[in-house]
């Protein structure tokens, strides 16, 4: 597509699916897929920043992923810690700010410490915001928001009449962040997997057959080009 016709989404959300299957197809252990997936995440983050995307949200670890084998989970926690350390230089070079959404429970203290350091280090950056969804589940996020709203009502800090969609959004992990315009999912799967269920209400969805480790700039641009051609009516009708 002509660069002048390309509409860059303000916020792209990604379900990075297929690391394990990529490794299996290559005859490698699953952790090699996760290692390669982290390298892909670095490249796509830089690509999105360069293209002018304002927010990029990557689904790194779902709350359901704790069902995986202990050995794999231990590797993922180690990889998370190393990612937080190694990617600081990339984030600072590209003026990227890091934010984390999800629950802190079950994440090792060593990884949490490095996460907090990187968030603090990049807090003043003014370029793209990279949101990492770690130990995240959208249903739990929504239930947590409801509980906090109910608690505020019971404490008479909030009137029930004030509750609307905008207020509810402010109680979610993504408070202050615009909803995604485009959702990209890899590995050909056609489901949301408990990811940003509230926030993706009007997102355009694009699915790649490639596994996440094989995702690249060309596929990213293909997704953006498809997004550029879609009519976003938000429940209305196209005005001719």
**Tens digits of per-residue pLDDT, 121-160?**
999 999 999 999 999 999 999 999 999 999 999 999 999 9
3-state SS, residue 145: helix
Sign of the alpha-carbon dihedral angle for 83, 132, 89, 222: positive
pLDDT in tens, 90-113: 999 999 999 999 999 999 999 999
Name the residues annotated as catalytic. 17, 65
144: tokens are 């947590």
- 171 contacts 149 by C-beta, under 8 angstroms: yes
Q: Provide the CB-side half-sphere exposure for 236 (13 A, CA).
A: 7
CA dihedral angle for residue 175, residue 178, residue 182, residue 183, rounded to 10 degrees: 0
Sign of the alpha-carbon dihedral angle for 31, 36, 42, 47: negative
CATH number of 8-135+180-229: 3.40.1180.10
Task: Evaluate if pTM is beyond 0.75.
Answer: yes
Nearest to 122 by CA among 86, 89, 77: 89
Q: Whole-angstrom Cα distance, residue 57 to residue 10?
A: 11
Across-strand partners of 100? 132
Q: Is pLDDT at 239 greater than 50 in this prediction?
A: no
70 C-beta neighbours (distance < 10 Å), count: 8
């Amino acid at each position: 597509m002509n660069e002048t016709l390309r509409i860059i989404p303000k916020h792209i959300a990604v379900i990075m699916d297929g690391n394990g299957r990529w490794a299996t197809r290559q005859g490698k252990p699953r952790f090699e897929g996760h290692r390669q997936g982290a390298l892909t995440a670095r490249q796509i983050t830089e690509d999105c920043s360069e293209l002018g995307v304002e927010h990029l949200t990557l689904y790194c670890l779902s709350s359901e992923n704790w069902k995986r084998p202990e050995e794999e989970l231990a590797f993922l926690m180690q990889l998370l810690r190393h990612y937080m350390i190694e990617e600081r230089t990339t984030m600072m070079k590209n003026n990227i700010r890091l934010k984390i959404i999800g629950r802190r429970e079950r994440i090792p203290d060593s990884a949490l410490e490095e996460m907090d350091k990187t968030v603090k280090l990049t807090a003043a950056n003014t370029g793209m915001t990279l949101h990492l969804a770690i130990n995240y589940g959208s249903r739990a996020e929504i239930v947590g928001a409801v509980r906090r709203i109910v608690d505020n009502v019971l404490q008479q800090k909030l009137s029930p009449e004030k509750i609307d969609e905008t207020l509810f959004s402010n109680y979610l992990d993504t408070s202050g962040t615009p909803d995604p315009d485009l959702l990209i999912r890899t590995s050909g799967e056609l489901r949301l997997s408990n990811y940003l269920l509230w926030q993706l209400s009007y997102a355009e969805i694009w699915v790649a057959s490639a596994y996440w480790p094989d995702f690249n700039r060309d596929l990213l641009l293909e997704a953006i080009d498809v997004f550029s051609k879609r009519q976003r009516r938000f429940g209305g009708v196209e005005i001719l």
